[in-house]
Structure 1
Amino acid sequence: MKITPQHFSPEIRKTQNSEVNSTKPNIDQPAAEKVASTVQTDASRQRMLSWFARVGISPSMLSPDPKKQKHALERRKQILETQKASNLQAVLNIALNVSINEQTSDNLDPDWFFAFSTMAEEIYSSPMQELWGKIFAVEVARPGSFSLRTLQLLKTLTHRDAKVFNKAVNVASRKSSDAVPRILVGYHKRKGLFSFLKKPTPEQVNLASVGLSYPDLLSLQEMKLIYASEIESGEYIEGQQVTWRCVNENITLTCKTPGVALVYYKFTSVGSELYKLVTKSSNETYLQALKHVLGEVFNIS
């Protein structure tokens, strides 16, 4: 953590004694800086001690006395086990409050459950515990909804990663016949013979301008939540219709001209599974930008 010292600039009243004026700042300023630095160092030290105390570690925990050392290690083990149990209890409490409409008579896979519990006991942040609680509730209601591969990837995600994924979910669309979400970014049009005579039109949404930056896309690709490159759909013929649903809004596209293909980022199978869990909020800025771009080659309703 970068620590920025505070600088104090004491006002020094000018007097007729120039010798006093010239020496006073040289004495007071370093002293003030030293005090500020000491205060911030102490605060950082306390934060370090606090974090390590959560895993049962202190600077002087290991005593030369074997009995005291054993006691310290047993206490550390107890602290860790208590924390893991607390994590699982939090996940269970969240799962019990999730309402799932669909039910099934299929039983939960015991291997899946014990793998789940082993991973979930090491989830410490509240937002991520909420996500794991939802996963368990859905899996109990519909066994087979989440693979162990998805859980293993999810375990590596931080709360910050989840926030980036949430931004992607808020600009993702699905066709009614397809469960895999896609982030529509624009279109590609096959160039005609006289296309050079036409005024250039915008072909893609600038995702960074609507909240999903290029580093965000790279992170999602590294996390295997979306595929690493843009994908083109098949070409649409004139008059062909397709309906996409972006969060809560249906967008029906009717192709104005042949040779047009949609360009999008596609969610992976793991990303598609997690997509179902995330609370969605429509990104109106993205929707307006997308309609503006696609309006060049599609009628939108």
Structure 2
Amino acid sequence: MKITPQHISPEMKKTQKTEVNGTITATSQPAAEKVANSTQTDASRQRMLTWFARVGISPSMLSPDPKKQKHALERRKQILETQKASNLQAVLNIALNVSINEQTSDNLDPDWFFAFSTMAEEIYSPPMQELWGKIFAVEVARPGSFSLRTLQLLKTLTHRDAKVFNKAVNIASRKSNDTVPRILVGYHKRKGLLSFLRKPIPEQINLASVGLSYPDLLSLQEMKLIYASEIESAEYSEGQQVTWRCVNENITLTCKAPGVALVYYKFTSVGSELYKLVTKSTNETYLQEIKQVLSEVFNIS
């Protein structure tokens, strides 16, 4: 039987393909796919329009009429100024609800405050506004806690950057009476004459396995929140003790043998200032792994 076009169902016609010079091409796009693409395009267009509307811009904003053009530009200026005032109000409301026990009679530096307000008015993300509100509350209670250099760096951080920093904070430790956090990753032991006869043991943990990937580390280094390379402590003598506090847990290390040094990533001064503000939660996986590695050369309690 000769097959004519009327013998082909509508569904088959939509997916019919033609071979020309060995190359198969579709003669038409499925209707369902066209509808899906159209819906996706409309949704993307709507998101674009919504974002630009927040800064007072629309596709047909500017008119050839000078009066209408002036009105549109004034309206845009008003939208931007209103948004900046709203940002500052959000930061203030957060600061008013922060409880700070330690107070001082020292006055806030006016230069610091006006620099702070100029930067804070351009913080639009609620999570970042919360961070800026905490900074202001702490600075009022203890002037000098946060440098302008810290604020300038903080202004460049996004909410995503802050989430990466939070990962680092959750695995950071501080020694007693030390304000600088460090991320302990393992140890280095001075090699003895018979060390080649012993079974190799892991000397460092893989931070990626506890949630802090190598790209995260690079990002933190580029933001100048931690130093760019690992650092070794001074060597511990046999029996020497040191206590670290990781979030809410104290870890006391007693060295089993001489010639052992801890290996860690150290927070910068800016990173140390921001560390005080971040809400912390214990990373149990990290604690288990770092204890397991350090137990080779330290007694842990």
Tell me, yes or no, whether TM beats 0.5. yes
- Rounded Cα–Cα distance in structure 2 between residues aligned with 1:201 and 1:150: 40
- Rounded Cα–Cα distance in structure 1 between residues aligned with 2:135 and 2:148: 11
Residue 87 of structure 1: aligned partner: 87
5 Å-filtered alignment, 1:166-185, equals 166-185=166-185
1:25 to partner: Cα distance:
3.7
Residue 124 of structure 2: aligned partner: 124
5 Å-filtered alignment, 1:270-285, equals 270-285=270-285
- Rounded Cα–Cα distance in structure 1 between residues aligned with 2:112 and 2:70: 36
Residue 206 of structure 1: aligned partner: 206
After superposition, the C-alpha distances for 1:186-228 in whole angstroms (9 at most, x for unaligned) are 0000000010000111100110000000000000000000000
- Rounded Cα–Cα distance in structure 2 between residues aligned with 1:279 and 1:22: 59
Residue 19 (1) aligns with residue 45 (2) = no
- Rounded Cα–Cα distance in structure 1 between residues aligned with 2:28 and 2:215: 46
- Rounded Cα–Cα distance in structure 1 between residues aligned with 2:150 and 2:257: 41
After superposition, the C-alpha distances for 1:8-67 in whole angstroms (9 at most, x for unaligned) are xxxxxxxxx853374254488522222211111111001000000000000110000000
Q: Secondary structure at the match of 2:238?
A: coil
Q: Secondary structure at the match of 1:225?
A: coil
Q: Secondary structure at the match of 2:144?
A: coil
Residue 242 of structure 1: aligned partner: 242
- Rounded Cα–Cα distance in structure 1 between residues aligned with 2:28 and 2:265: 60
Residue 227 of structure 1: aligned partner: 227
Runs of 4+ in 1 over 6 A off after TM superposition: none
Residue 50 (1) aligns with residue 39 (2) = no
State the TM-score, normalized to the length of structure 1.
0.93
Corresponding pairs, count: 285
Residue 264 of structure 2: aligned partner: 264
Paired amino acid for 1:221? Q
Residue 65 of structure 2: aligned partner: 65
Paired amino acid for 1:81? E
- Rounded Cα–Cα distance in structure 1 between residues aligned with 2:96 and 2:178: 30
Residue 20 of structure 2: aligned partner: none
TM-aligned CA distance change 1:28 to 1:193, over 3 Å: same
- Rounded Cα–Cα distance in structure 1 between residues aligned with 2:126 and 2:7: 61
TM-aligned CA distance change 1:295 to 1:37, over 3 Å: same
Identity of aligned residues (%): 89
Contact map agreement 2:14 2:31 (CA 8 A) in 1? no
| More off after superposition, 57-66 vs 31-40 | 31-40
Residue 135 of structure 1: aligned partner: 135
- Rounded Cα–Cα distance in structure 1 between residues aligned with 2:152 and 2:230: 26
Q: Secondary structure at the match of 2:234?
A: coil
Residue 147 of structure 1: aligned partner: 147
- Rounded Cα–Cα distance in structure 2 between residues aligned with 1:284 and 1:51: 40
Give the CA RMSD over aligned residues. 1.2
Contact map agreement 2:14 2:30 (CA 8 A) in 1? no
Paired amino acid for 2:13? T
Paired amino acid for 1:19? I
1:178 to partner: Cα distance:
1.0
- Rounded Cα–Cα distance in structure 2 between residues aligned with 1:288 and 1:113: 43
- Rounded Cα–Cα distance in structure 1 between residues aligned with 2:298 and 2:87: 50
1:95 to partner: Cα distance:
0.1
Q: Secondary structure at the match of 1:192?
A: coil
- Rounded Cα–Cα distance in structure 2 between residues aligned with 1:22 and 1:74: 57
